[in-house]
Amino acid sequence: MKKQPVKPEFTFKMFEVLSRMWLVGCVKTAAELNIADQLAYGPKTISALAAETHSNEKELYRIMRALSSEGIFEELDNRTFALNDFGAALQTSVPGTVKDFIIANVGEHFPGFADLIYAVQKGKVPFEHVHGMNIWEYYKKHPELGANFGRGMTGLSGMVLNGIVENYDFIPYKTIVDIGGGNGAMMYAMLNASPESSGIIFDEAHVTEKTLQLIPENLKDRCTVATGSFFEKVPSGADLYTMKWIIHDWNDDECVQILKVCYNAMPQGAKLLIVDAVIPDDSKNEPHISKLFDIVMMACLTGRERTLNEFKDLLERSRLKFSRVVQIGTEVKSIVECEKP
């Protein structure tokens, strides 16, 4: 079959796909300038916004016009802009914010997306090719960016924490260990939903030393931290272990190593919850956000998003028994429940 001319409507559709990149550049600019914070207490003229953000008024207006045309912020009369629900997702330090994750994704992560061909042809991680080190080494070398990325992941947690505690019963468990628990947002949600449970937030030392200072006053008698590497050892003897956005960071062999460490720490009958996206096994040609989130993994890490069958394979290799998948109301994440038989 010989090549056919492209139909104009599909040329335009591909052009629209490309335009998402231009829009993302505008979103990152608004995030870096804290525009949503500036508008949180009421509308402001472009002159006021430019003065408060030390920006060029004409160029800032062009950015704000483009964002408002996509429903991010709202342009009123006389070049005045207002915050709306969509733009509010760019506020600083509020539940559900995506501001910090956007800054990371369109900052240090972005060159990896531009170099995806390196992953496709070499089977290696573009981020490492571009930066000369893996993402975890990079964040240790650039702690201010690492802190921003940590805040970004906490903001994304706002999408799923309510769904997790509303769809899974944590009350029966005496001791919960959150592996790779970061600043503790997941643990605090679980403990608030299970008043008799105690929790241990497990992570590396440079994380837990900060986390220890963040434990809410009402949870300090039920929550503590533990330090180490989940490739080597995790706290033993708990009846529930959780991992949110951990397994998808690593390749299959690395995941099996992590899961075997968990298996060794778990008493018989203890459960492990893997909170990750689950790509439907029978979803050919159907959209699913995890299929795109998988490209983030390809660009930046050795990991991937997985189908349920792929999760089951990891569990089998680790001697853990698959129990069920618990849906939490979003494609972004599900709970894969397993136990030590």
Active site positions, annotated: 248
CA 132/CA 143 separation, integer angstroms: 17
261 CB-near residues (< 8 Å, 6+ apart)? 230, 231, 232, 233, 234
Q: What is the DSSP code (8-state) at residue 42?
A: S
Question: If you count them, how many residues does the chain have?
Answer: 341
Which residue type occupies 314? L
- Token pair 């509308």: residue: 43
- Token pair 């994440």: residue: 333
43 CB-near residues (< 8 Å, 6+ apart)? 76, 80, 81, 82, 83
Q: Are 63 and 33 in contact (CB under 8 A)?
A: no
CA 308/CA 325 separation, integer angstroms: 8
CA 138/CA 232 separation, integer angstroms: 22
Task: Please spell the DSSP secondary structure of 45-86, one letter per residue.
Answer: EHHHHHHHHT--HHHHHHHHHHHHHTTSSEE-STTEEE--TT
Q: What is the DSSP code (8-state) at residue 303?
A: -
Q: Are 60 and 46 in contact (CB under 8 A)?
A: yes
CA separation (Å) from 252 to 294, 311, 336? 14, 9, 16
CA 186/CA 273 separation, integer angstroms: 12
> Which pair of tokens denotes residue 304?
């991937």
Q: Which residues pair with 199 in a beta bridge?
A: 176, 223
> Which pair of tokens denotes residue 8?
């104009």
CA 314/CA 323 separation, integer angstroms: 13
